């Protein structure tokens, strides 16, 4: 299960022509670095909020929560900066490894009535073992913080542009 916060990197995401102009003045590799850096920082904040809402029975589910930002491949997005790929920031529960959270979907969405068949080896005996209601930790976190994350993304993008402009000037 992954909660995805997707923005197009074609210049239509920032909402500010000044930021778009600054991005356009950067070389492509510096532009990508700036955008990816801003997205990683934005999604990290969303990950921290989701961790707070995640149930803390064994702490394994909280530890399995990860975030990342990647450019998607494919046709891309047409915008003011030309045709580029979209940037996807995602928050997900790891399924394998030391802190696996393979049961995250059962906690997020809940389960229907569960039944154990052939209880204690007795053929034809079914025993109801209950159901769980969903916690909606990811869904609620995303809905609650969507506007805040966009604002943070814009601020982080401004900082990242400044950093990449300095790096670009040092290389020249």
The closest alpha carbon to 89, from 166, 162, 37, belongs to 37
How many domains does the chain fold into? Answer: 1
CB 32 within 8 A of CB 136: no
- Within a domain: 112: no
pLDDT band, very low/low/confident/very high, at 134 (cuts 50, 70, 90):
confident
145: containing domain: 2-101+136-171
What is the reported pTM? Answer: 0.70
Residue 60: inside a domain, yes or no? Answer: yes
Q: In what order do the strands lie in the sheet with 65-71?
A: 2-8, 86-93, 65-71
The reply to whether 123 falls in a domain is: no
Of 3-7, 12-16, 129-133, 156-160, the least confident:
3-7
Is the pLDDT at 81 greater than 70, yes or no? no
12 within some domain: yes
- Does residue 166 form part of some domain? yes
For the chain, the distance separating the N- and C-terminal CA atoms, rounded to the nearest angstrom, is: 44
Specify if 106 maps to a domain.
Answer: no
Please report which helix (H) or strand (E) contains residue 129, including its range. strand 126-130
Please check whether residue 146 lies inside any domain of the structure.
yes
Q: What is the DSSP letter of 80?
A: T
Q: Specify which of 17-21, 30-34, 89-93 reaches the highest per-range mean pLDDT.
A: 30-34
Within a domain: 96: yes
């Amino acid at each position: 299960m992954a909660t995805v916060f997707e923005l197009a990197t074609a210049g239509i995401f920032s909402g500010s022509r000044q930021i778009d102009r600054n991005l356009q003045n950067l070389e492509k590799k510096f532009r990508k670095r700036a955008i990816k850096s801003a997205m990683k920082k934005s999604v990290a904040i969303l990950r921290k909020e989701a961790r707070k809402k995640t149930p803390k029975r064994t702490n394994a589910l909280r530890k399995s929560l990860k975030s990342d930002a990647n450019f998607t491949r494919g046709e891309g997005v047409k915008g003011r900066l030309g045709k580029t790929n979209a940037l996807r920031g995602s928050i997900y529960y790891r399924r394998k490894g030391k802190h696996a959270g393979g049961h995250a979907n059962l906690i997020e969405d809940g389960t229907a009535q569960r039944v154990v068949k052939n209880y204690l080896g007795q053929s034809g005996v079914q025993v109801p073992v209950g159901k769980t209601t969903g916690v909606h930790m990811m869904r609620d976190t995303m809905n609650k913080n969507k506007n805040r994350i966009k604002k943070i993304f814009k601020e982080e993008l401004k900082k990242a542009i400044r950093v990449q402009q300095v790096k670009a000037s040092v290389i020249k």
